[in-house]
Structure 1
């Protein structure tokens, strides 16, 4: 009985050949030895492989489509990531099929299996929204059928390729930079404890520990991801007379709100956001921000995915890491004695 979930990726793995070789056999290409052709055809028969009917109608065994998963395009980070991936994949003659999961993290396995069942050639996830055991299990299962690549998350699961920014190290270095400006009471505002969020917090605590600064739990606050959430957090610190001489946030939008509240309350302290988005340059004063290298992450993801789908012999690294960079703007110099 045919199994519609068997893909050429499975056939290639079983036969220890490239995806391109399997495609040549399916398309009757003469550039395959008779021995290899027989091995591939036997595997196709044994595994009950059925070619994608839509792609076969075009004389191919690929839809030339890569699935992309993120939470929402209303978020500037995700919107830019999708745009970069789409532009990059089009240069390699691939289209993308986008699926937005919404903010309800932990219940996204149907979105993963939905794209796989639509016969996409590969899958790219953006961000850290796939955190539950069912989600990770669905990604791992998908990786057994098609190439799966994650941007800014590392699940350490077989067959899943990761492109990440070392945000923990970026935060650790930022704490040391602030300390050189005599800032030892750093307020940190974040929204959710995702993979990225946990690493930022880890870097903050590591930096404080290295400098011998005792962590003050009152300065680390989880807030709603909007201007109001950040403003209320800073106003709360001021009303309670909790000392702070710098503000760091997990997202630029939080930094905009935090800076506004701090200035309104006469607190002239360095404010640093995260993602180096357009919000940072639109704020007044302009915001310093940690650049988590989204352009580089997406370009690397496109390169790795196209390499995996082309069946090239050159190995693709399971994990690719970039360093975070502090982009200093006016908000880094607002500290007054």
Structure 2
């Protein structure tokens, strides 16, 4: 018999030659499993001495009724709002939550993932696309954790069994907004971003593809790692000093858009007559300026509630889609026509 201490749901799925999701459905008594498969999985569980933890609710075993949440940075307006809605949804489902801030380093993310697993959580939510590493091998810590509990990535995508991804369609949103500006005869578009995480790459690709689709030159991406208002203003002033014209600024988040507006006001540029500015996330920052900032709304409330629903469905053994996509929408305000 395999030692209980080294058994997990991944081992059961491998030994039964079925998916982790199927094992979860068997454990939770779901009807979406054939009688033959159920019998096979239960036989493996019995022979191995496996005592389910993460998926034990359906058997009345030692489920902790707790969901772990990992977040890179609570200071970000987007993450702060996301945490509120995710925790609210978790509690509405009768679970408690443990929230850990990991920072950006891979070592810290991996270490804190292990910390949540040691607390015997029933599932984990990863908030934000910063959990998707550019080198896919570095995402193995997520795949390994998913061998023990279901993981939902909110606005990030990693392919792996027992990993479920709920995303805002950042690519299409940026493509549509860029296309609309070009079709209104707007020229000299630039894209400002702070990093190239999964979400930012989708936005940049949407920006690029829209330019190419309209036979526009693809140029002028400016990375501003801090995203700080004054650093954004300085970067745009450097662009101006080089004689590079700017007709519209598309920003990866609203804080960057505030910096772009500060640049415009400082240099007596009329907004939106001389320059258009579009932010992203539709955060409270977008209505704290004059004029108020046009911003793309990623529908964070729906994104949060659907992410938690996907996790709960997986825990309960229900059929869960691997990937769900939510449309973003443009909220027009005073920085665009």
Partner residue of 2:33? none
Matched, 1:321 2:322: no
RMSD of equivalent CA atoms: 2.8
Show CA shifts across 1:53-78 (max 9, x none): xx99xx64210111111102111111
**Counterparts in 2 of 1:264 and 1:75: CA distance versus 1, 3 Å:** same
The answer on whether the counterparts of 1:105 and 1:129 sit within 8 Å (CA) in structure 2 is no
Please give the secondary structure, in 2, of the residue aligned with 1:215.
coil
Shift of 1:37: 9.8
Matched, 1:91 2:97: no
Q: Equivalents in 2 of 1:225, 1:259: separation in Å? A: 13
Partner residue of 1:73? 74
Shift of 1:264: 1.3
The answer on whether the counterparts of 2:130 and 2:156 sit within 8 Å (CA) in structure 1 is no
Shift of 1:225: 1.7
Q: Equivalents in 1 of 2:161, 2:37: separation in Å? A: 27
Partner residue of 1:150? 153
TM-score by length of 1: 0.85
**Counterparts in 2 of 1:277 and 1:13: CA distance versus 1, 3 Å:** farther
Partner residue of 2:65? 64
**Counterparts in 2 of 1:36 and 1:168: CA distance versus 1, 3 Å:** closer
Shift of 1:86: 0.7
Unaligned runs of 5+ in 1: 25-34
Shift of 1:228: 1.6
**Counterparts in 2 of 1:194 and 1:125: CA distance versus 1, 3 Å:** same
Matched, 1:332 2:336: yes
Partner residue of 1:28? none
Show CA shifts across 1:271-320 (max 9, x none): 101111111011221001111121111111111111111223xx211110
Shift of 1:321: 0.6
Matched, 1:22 2:38: no
**Counterparts in 2 of 1:41 and 1:178: CA distance versus 1, 3 Å:** closer
The answer on whether the counterparts of 1:107 and 1:135 sit within 8 Å (CA) in structure 2 is no
Q: Equivalents in 2 of 1:250, 1:96: separation in Å? A: 29
Shift of 1:13: 8.0
TM-score by length of 2: 0.85
Shift of 1:48: 4.1
Please give the secondary structure, in 2, of the residue aligned with 1:330.
coil
Shift of 1:3: 3.8
Partner residue of 2:32? none
The answer on whether the counterparts of 1:205 and 1:215 sit within 8 Å (CA) in structure 2 is yes
Shift of 1:12: 7.5
Unaligned runs of 5+ in 2: 30-35
Number of residue pairs matched by the alignment:
318
Q: Equivalents in 1 of 2:107, 2:227: separation in Å? A: 18
Q: Equivalents in 1 of 2:14, 2:281: separation in Å? A: 38
The answer on whether the counterparts of 2:28 and 2:316 sit within 8 Å (CA) in structure 1 is no
In the TM superposition, 1:211-290 aligns within 5 A as 211-216=214-219, 219-223=220-224, 224-268=226-270, 269-290=275-296
Structure showing greater relative contact order (alpha-carbon pairs closer than 8 Å, 6 or more residues apart) = 2
Shift of 1:133: 4.5
**Counterparts in 2 of 1:241 and 1:36: CA distance versus 1, 3 Å:** closer
Show CA shifts across 1:30-52 (max 9, x none): xxxxx999866653453343466
Matched, 1:2 2:6: no
Q: Equivalents in 2 of 1:121, 1:5: separation in Å? A: 18
